Amino acid sequence: MRGGPRSTPPGQHRAVMLEEVLRALNVQPGAVVVDATVGWAGHAVELLRRVGPGGQLLGLDLDAENLPRARERLSETGLLFHLYHSNFAALPAILAKQGIAAVPAVLADLGMSSMQVDDAERGFSYVREGPLDMRMDRSRGRTAAQLLEALSEQELSRALRELGDEPEAECIAAALVAARQQGPLERTSEVTRIIQEATQPGGARGRWRLHPSPDRWNLHPAARTFQVLRILVNRELANLEQLLRVLPIVLAPGGVAAIISFHSGEDRLVKAAFRDGLRAGVYREVAEDPLRASPEERRDNPRSRSAKLRWARRS
């Protein structure tokens, strides 16, 4: 599982598995390429440079606050691009608006960016004090605080177990429901404290540390809960399922889709959709196993440690 895409040090908002993405998509000059999760354009800038003056890039992001920075970075290339504040599940409608029937390359880098984690006001981080928000699109939808107020203890426990693989699901759910009876839970620090007290009684609190190995880390006791709340707030698995349904429609013959996931549930959905598409003849070939970041990248960029890249080529 992802454990939440982990924050990178300031100034290191790097694109995860960039070289692996470029090899998998292998975009050609003059092509139209889609970055369905444009973020701050780390992947998009390099993809746009490869399609060159005769091509174009379409970038989507559910978080409107990412788009000004992405536009600034993409504009520096002097090449053609279009950005949309949109969920990637709306890709067919966006292509239709552009008068494009299908594209040869689609990228989706799932989850949240380090920039979102680093902004305490977004409420994604269990180690930064802020409002319990977690919406990728702050213009609509329920916040994590509102969701946490509405879920029953059984619903919360089941979500923690099934979406987060949380071994302390029942204990955490009971503690959070008991705490909200004393008043609404509205701050990240409140939720973090309650989880730590429930799962690490006595003097055990604060003993988690990032493991020095590039392949291992010790999760903060609140990490899985924050991840699950974020997934529920943003309907991430449902949106991914929709993207997987429309990919065969938007990919041109021979076109490639590449998806980077950070959560076991996401990876299972991608693997199953690509495998089923291969069996049905929709895809000509798919990655037999997920690609992983190099040891060097895992060492230098903690967010890449749980990243899995799968690709599929349209028949």
Residue ending a domain, choose from 179, 203, 233: 233
Q: What is the DSSP string of 250-261?
A: HEEEEEEEEEEE
The whole domain housing 86 covers: 18-114+237-314
Contact 259, 310 (CB under 8 A): yes
3-state secondary structure of 242: helix
130 within a domain of the structure (yes/no) = no
Answer yes or no: pTM beyond 0.75: yes
**Same domain, residue pair 108 and 252:** yes
Give the CATH number, domain containing residue 59: 3.40.50.150
Residue 147: give its domain's CATH number: 1.10.150
Instruction: Provide the number of structural domains found in the chain.
Output: 2
- Which of the four pLDDT bands, split at 50, 70 and 90, describes residue 214? very low
Each residue's pLDDT tens digit, 16-73: 999 999 999 999 999 999 999 999 999 999 999 999 999 999 999 999 999 999 999 9
Note whether 234 and 62 are within 8 A (CB): yes
**Token reading at 40:** 């701050």
**Residue 222 sits in the same domain as residue 151:** yes
- Mean of pLDDT over the chain: 90
Q: Do 247 and 219 lie in a common domain?
A: no
Among the three residues 233, 255, 290, which one is the final residue of a domain in this structure?
Answer: 233
Q: Is residue 128 part of a domain?
A: no
Q: Kindly state whether residues 153 and 204 are assigned to the same domain.
A: yes
Rounded Cα distance, 120 and 303, in Å: 18
Task: Please report the DSSP string for 228-251 in residue order.
Answer: HHHHHHTTHHHHHHHHHHHHHHHE
**Final residue of a domain: which of 170, 201, 233?**
233
In this prediction, residues 196-203 reach a mean pLDDT of 81
Which band of pLDDT confidence, cut at 50, 70 and 90, is reported for residue 102?
A: very high
Segment 63-72, tens digit of pLDDT: 999 999 999 9
Residue 120 falls within a domain, yes or no? no
Cα–Cα distance for residue pair 72/88, rounded to 1 Å:
21
